[in-house]
A and B are shown apart, each in its own frame.
Chain A
Amino acid sequence: MNDFLNQFLIECREIVEQAAADLLALEKSPRDAQLLDGVFRAFHTLKGSAGIVEFAAMEQAVHATENLLSGARATGEPISAELVAACLACLDRVLGWLDTIERTGELPAVTELSVPDPAAQTSGAEGHHWLREHLTRNAAAAGRARSAVRFIPDADCFFEGEDPIARILGLPQLLAFDTATVNEWPALSAFDPYRCNLILTALTAAPPEALARHMTGCAGECEILAVAARQPIESGQLGPRAREVLEAQIALLDETRPRILPGRIAAAGLTAANVMRFSAQDATAETFAEATQRSLAEKTIQPLREAIARILEGAAAGNAPTPVAAARIEAGSRTLRIDAARIDTLVRLTSELTVAKNALGHLVKVARTQANPMAGSLKNQHELLERLVAQVQASVLGLRVLPLRSVFQRFPRVLREMSSSLDKQVRLEIEGEETEADKTIVEILFEPLLHIIRNSIDHGVESPDERARRGKSPTAIIQLRAKRQSDHVLIEVSDDGGGIDLARVREVARTRAVATEEALRAMSEAELVNLIFAPGFSTASTVTELSGRGVGMDAVRAAVERIGGRVSVTTRAGLGTTVSVLLPFSVMMTRILTVEAGGQLYGIPLDAIAETVRVPVTSIAGIGASRAIVVRERTIPVIALAGELGMGQGAGHDTEATIVIADVAGLVGGIQVERVGEQMEAILQPLDGLLAGTPGITGTTLLGDGRVLLVLDIGALLQ
């Protein structure tokens, strides 16, 4: 992908993110003009960016939405939910395109837009001179105008049955109409009457949407713009064009000869007043009108000339940039945009640095066992290096950190759709969206969270009738909370629904053979409720559009565990359910314990280990084909790691057995090993190539002496 596109992707994603956040905020406070401005700017920038990379489809789509927005801006009325939805839909479409670009490295070939939109034709960043001119020429109508249209019919449009002027004159609430020519008029004798040479412009008091409907199917190029409500330009400020016009009037007045004086004064006065009306400075316009009358009465240009000059001077003094703009520029220059790939390179280099440091650690150990005189200072240097590497690592990983906002902010939208399609009223409360986590985690998080929330709405939240019967508010509340817990990020999804029906869980687990009868009887309530994460479990009594897609909560668990997280659920009958997802803050560092089995060294992630015990071999009892030990009155199944991995039984002559007791998502089991080694921090490399997907192995890491350590997937082994 070329740099241009790359930059485009990065920028657009940022803008879309911000715009989506603003839109959702706007939905809550539909009168917030600042938010609306922000959204409008975002769409405008998106359009510009699309233009730069020549992605016409996106440019058109964004432009059409931008028109709707500017229409809304012009009316000054609160923003409707439909408009927000339309904007969000447009952003979704843009995101889809961005994904395609990212995947293919090319602009997607989009030829048709789902809504044929005549407003989609754009003249780009020309600044819509025509609109300004049109408004200035029709100052009287400009005040009531809500939208403007410029229609350049195709030259041969008459043959397509198009009657452009009739079409324009048929516009709803037409306020002004004007024509111009595409090319200069030829001589009458050279003129082809069946070629259209006209440019039609019109102002209407109807919203842009109405114009768009009216212009649909027109043969030609059509641009519809919303006319911004005449925003009073801060007193003492003039737009550059207004300034230009006023200055021109002074020049005109100055060169006026006595003979044409009254006409000139009247014309200049009217123009100046119109300019001010167009700038929504009606008071000044009145001043000009009065000055004009005085000038006419006194037959001298002075009163009018002075009035105009005064306004121009005042404007010059008040044209300093506003502090707000200055602050924004400063904030912008403090951030640096870096390609994620460069940061990944840095992360990789740092992990190699860690491996080198571990190798030095190994050397230190060797030196000490050999009583090398260098051992002491080597050890000191190693410790220093260890500290520095840890710091470098933390900073580098810190670069990959993203706030969860980028994921969380996608949910309000999703939730609205879900709650309406399920006919349940749900409000989403988000807490701690500023909590940060590693980019990899943040990016993976959306789907699992989406599924959890879906489940909450679908199965947790009762129907409004049911809620009313239980004395709850008809609107259910789903809370999405995130907080940092030392090395982890805890994300909780809570609903105030009916809670999980344990009896039903038990019944379903039995009928779908998720767990055996005995196992079910032995389970505590907490264990029972966590069965919803078991493969093949789903309590949906009716298959719904949302949850009944054959992926259950087991998919959630799999996704979360794949990135080293854990998921659990607590529920209180009638009060609600909370699903907790505990994720590592960063995926890169894993603390592992090395163990030996069958003469080979393996790693076990420390967070899977509950404890390590040494028990007499005789205490391992055979139960059918399997074996188990009793630890603190609890029976724990035991597997021999060497046997499980097909390494044959290791030296089985010891009288004592070393058993690592692991606990993965409530699944407890003992793993018999020959020896427990050391704890270390490692950067896990996922298995790839031929080894990808090897069951029972989550990844590998390099040991200090260069050997590859296979790190076990305890969850898979215990199952």
Chain B
Amino acid sequence: MTVHLLDTGVIELTGACPSEDAETLLQQLLLAPDAQVDWRSCESAHTAVIQVLLLARPRMLGAAAGPGLREWVQPLLGGGGGDG
């Protein structure tokens, strides 16, 4: 599992998130709409996962680990730690 709801109320994405993570991520965001997403150890994410982020626009914590996410996806999500 690469999507975890931490005790702190932060959703953590780690490693390479496959498409199945989209469902989990969506459920968690539905349960906790204000949850922050920590993707500092996320190397890559499937489009389905990114799509959920694009829709839900959670507050992203830090910069993604993967350079692709950091360079191209992060700006679309309003940057890490922004007030998106």
Contact = CB atoms under 8 A, between A and B. Distances in A.
B73 interface: yes
B1 interface: no
Contact of A169 (B30, B54, B68): B68
B48 interface: yes
B30 A158 contact: no
A191 B55 contact: yes
A177 B73 CA distance: 8
B46 A166 contact: yes
Nearest to A157: B47
A397 to B, nearest CB: 67
Contact of A163 (B19, B26, B54, B56): B19
A323 interface: no
Given A177-B72, A193-B26, A185 B55 contact: yes
B73 A165 contact: yes
Nearest to B23: A193
Given A169-B72, A179-B76, A198 B56 contact: no
Contact of B47 (A164, A174, A189): A164
Contacts of A178: 76
Given A169-B72, A189-B30, A194-B48, A179 B54 contact: yes
Nearest to A200: B47
Contacts of B22: 193-194
Contact of A188 (B29, B72, B73): B29
B84 to A, nearest CB: 15
Nearest to B66: A169
Interface string B25-61: 1100110010000000000101110111011100000
Nearest to B55: A185
Nearest to B76: A179
Interface string A151-179: 00100001000111110010000100111
Contacts of B47: 153, 158, 162-166, 196, 198
B23 A194 contact: yes
| Consensus secondary structure, chain A interface | mixed
B71 to A, nearest CB: 8
Contacts of A188: 26, 29-30, 33, 55-56
B56 A165 contact: no
Contacts of A163: 19, 46-47
A158 B23 CA distance: 13
A196 B50 CA distance: 11
A65 interface: no
Nearest to B46: A163
A202 to B, nearest CB: 9
A197 interface: yes
A345 B52 CA distance: 69
A198 B46 contact: no
A459 to B, nearest CB: 62
Given A174-B72, A185-B55, A194 B33 contact: no
A214 to B, nearest CB: 15
Nearest to A153: B47
Contacts of B55: 185, 188, 191
A174 B68 CA distance: 11
A193 B76 contact: no
A189 to B, nearest CB: 6
Interface in A258-314: none
A485 to B, nearest CB: 70
A158 B47 CA distance: 8
B33 A193 contact: no
A698 B30 CA distance: 89
Contact of A158 (B26, B33, B48): B48
A163 B29 CA distance: 22
A29 B47 CA distance: 46
B26 A197 contact: no
Nearest to B29: A188
Contact of A197 (B29, B51, B56): B51
Contacts of A165: 46-47, 50, 73
Contacts of B29: 188
Contacts of A198: 47, 51, 54
A152 to B, nearest CB: 13
B68 to A, nearest CB: 5
Contacts of B33: 188
A178 B76 CA distance: 7
Nearest to B33: A188
A670 to B, nearest CB: 89
Nearest to B51: A198
Contacts of B26: 188, 191, 193
A169 B47 CA distance: 11
A178 B84 CA distance: 17
Nearest to B54: A179
A191 B56 CA distance: 10
Which among A169, A179, A193 has the highest number of chain B CB atoms within 10 Å? A193
B46 to A, nearest CB: 5
Nearest to B69: A169
B25 to A, nearest CB: 8
A193 B54 contact: no
A174 B48 CA distance: 21
Nearest to B50: A165
A166 B44 contact: yes
B74 to A, nearest CB: 11
Given A158-B19, A178-B76, A188-B56, A196 B48 contact: yes
Contacts of B52: 191, 193
Contacts of A169: 68, 72
A185 B52 CA distance: 10
A158 B48 CA distance: 7
Contacts of A193: 22-23, 25-26, 48, 51-52
Nearest to A186: B55
Nearest to A165: B47
B27 to A, nearest CB: 9
Contacts of B44: 166
Closest 5 A-B residue pairs measured CB to CB? A193-B22, A165-B47, A177-B72, A169-B68, A164-B47
Interface of A: 153, 158, 162-166, 169, 174, 177-179, 185, 188-189, 191, 193-194, 196-198
11 contacts: A158-B48, A163-B47, A169-B72, A178-B76, A188-B26, A193-B23, A193-B48, A194-B22, A196-B47, A196-B51, A198-B51
Given A191-B26, A193-B23, A194-B23, 20 more contacts: A158-B19, A158-B46, A163-B19, A163-B46, A165-B47, A166-B44, A166-B47, A174-B72, A177-B72, A177-B76, A179-B54, A185-B55, A188-B29, A188-B33, A188-B56, A191-B52, A193-B22, A193-B25, A194-B48, A198-B47
